[in-house]
Structure 1
Amino acid sequence: MNKTILIGAVVAAAAIGATLFFTGGQQDTPTTSQAPLEKGAIVSVSLPDRLSSEAQIGERAFDAVCAACHGDNGAGVDGSGPPLVHKIYEPSHHADMAFFMAVERGVQAHHWSFGNMPPQQGLTRGDVAAIVTYVRELQRVNGIN
C-alpha cells in the first residue's frame, strides 16, 4: 500500500476520533422542531425553525393542494398518499423535474401501494417550483439530501 495513502488514512481517523472525543459525539445540526406525528401520518417530520420566503409560498400551495394526500409537512397519509419527506424522494432519485411531471401528468403507482396519482389542476409552474423548494427544505432538515 502506498505510504502516503496509509498516513493520510491514519491522520483522518485520528482527526475524526479527536472530534468525536472532544464533542462527546455531538454534531452540529440545524435548529429544528419536531412536528407531532399526526393521526394517520406515515413518518415523523422535523421542521426548520424558519423557511425561505419561496418555501413559505410553497408551504401554502402544498397545504392547499397536496396535503390532503401527502399529509401535513409531507409526512404522508396512511391509506391515502406517500410521505414526500422520505429517502425515496431524495433529489438523486426523484429530481425536481419529477415533481413537475407528477403534477402535470400524474404518476403511475410504482414505489408505494396507494394507487395512481392523478394530474393536479390549478397549479402554475411557479406554484410547483415553490412546492418543490418547500419539500426540499423539509427533506434537508430531515437528513435527506
Structure 2
Amino acid sequence: MKNRALILTTVLVATALAIWWRLDGRGGDGAGAGVALAEVVVPELTAEESRGETLFNANCATCHGANAAGRSGKAPPLVHNIYEPNHHADAAFQLAVQNGVRDHHWGFGNMPPIEGVSPKNVSQIAAYVRALQRANGIQ
C-alpha cells in the first residue's frame, strides 16, 4: 500500500510540474510559447546600431525575439535590467556567442555557442542591444 501511495504521489508531482512548465512558457510549444516577454520601445538607430539590428535578426532573434524582447519557451529578453552594462558588460556578449552560456538567471536552459558570428559582428549586435536598453531606461 505504501508503494502504491508513493507511485501515485510521484505521478501527481510529475504531472503538476509538467503543467507548470508548459503554462510558464518554458516548455516549448505550451501556452504562451514564443510570446514576447518584454515591451520594447525601439529608438532611431545609428548606422552601426542598424547593422547590429540586421545581425541580431539573423543570429539572435529566433531565440531572443524581435527587438530583444525575449520569447517565452525560448530565451530571455536582453532588454532587461539583468543585462545592464554594469552587470553584463559588452564582453559578456562576446563570451556568450563564442562559448555559449550556462543557464544562471532564467531557467530557459543553456545557450549554445553561435557559429559564424565574428567579434566585430557581436560588437555591432551589442551596440543595437545597448541602444534598445537605453531607450527603455536601462543604463
TM-score tier, shorter chain, comes to: 0.7 to 0.9
SS of 2:42's equivalent?
strand
* Structure 2 residue 51 is matched with structure 1 residue 57: yes
User: Bigger radius of gyration, 1 or 2?
Assistant: 1
Q: Which runs of 5 or more residues in structure 1 are unaligned?
A: 1-38
SS of 1:47's equivalent?
coil
Q: Partner amino acid for 1:115? A: G
Within 2, Cα distance between the matches of 1:67 and 1:93?
22
Q: Please point out which of 88, 92, 107 is paired with 2:101.
A: 107
* Structure 2 residue 70 is matched with structure 1 residue 70: no
> 1:44: Cα distance to partner?
0.3
Q: Partner amino acid for 2:40? A: V
Within 2, Cα distance between the matches of 1:123 and 1:108?
19
- 1:52-81 deviation digits (Å, cap 9, x = unpaired): 111000000000010000000000000100
Match of 1:40 in 2: 35
> 1:97: Cα distance to partner?
0.2
- 1:21-45 deviation digits (Å, cap 9, x = unpaired): xxxxxxxxxxxxxxxxxx6000000
> 1:132: Cα distance to partner?
0.2
Richer in strand (by share): 1
Moved >2 Å (runs of 4+): none
Q: Partner amino acid for 2:75? A: G
> 1:125: Cα distance to partner?
0.8
> 1:94: Cα distance to partner?
0.3
Within 2, Cα distance between the matches of 1:47 and 1:123?
23
Q: Partner amino acid for 2:72? A: D
Q: Which runs of 5 or more residues in structure 2 are unaligned?
A: 1-33
SS of 1:46's equivalent?
coil
Q: Partner amino acid for 1:104? A: Q
Equivalent pairs, count: 106
Match of 1:140 in 2: 134
Q: Please point out which of 78, 89, 93 is paired with 2:83.
A: 89
- 1:1-29 deviation digits (Å, cap 9, x = unpaired): xxxxxxxxxxxxxxxxxxxxxxxxxxxxx
Q: Partner amino acid for 1:46? A: V
Match of 1:128 in 2: 122
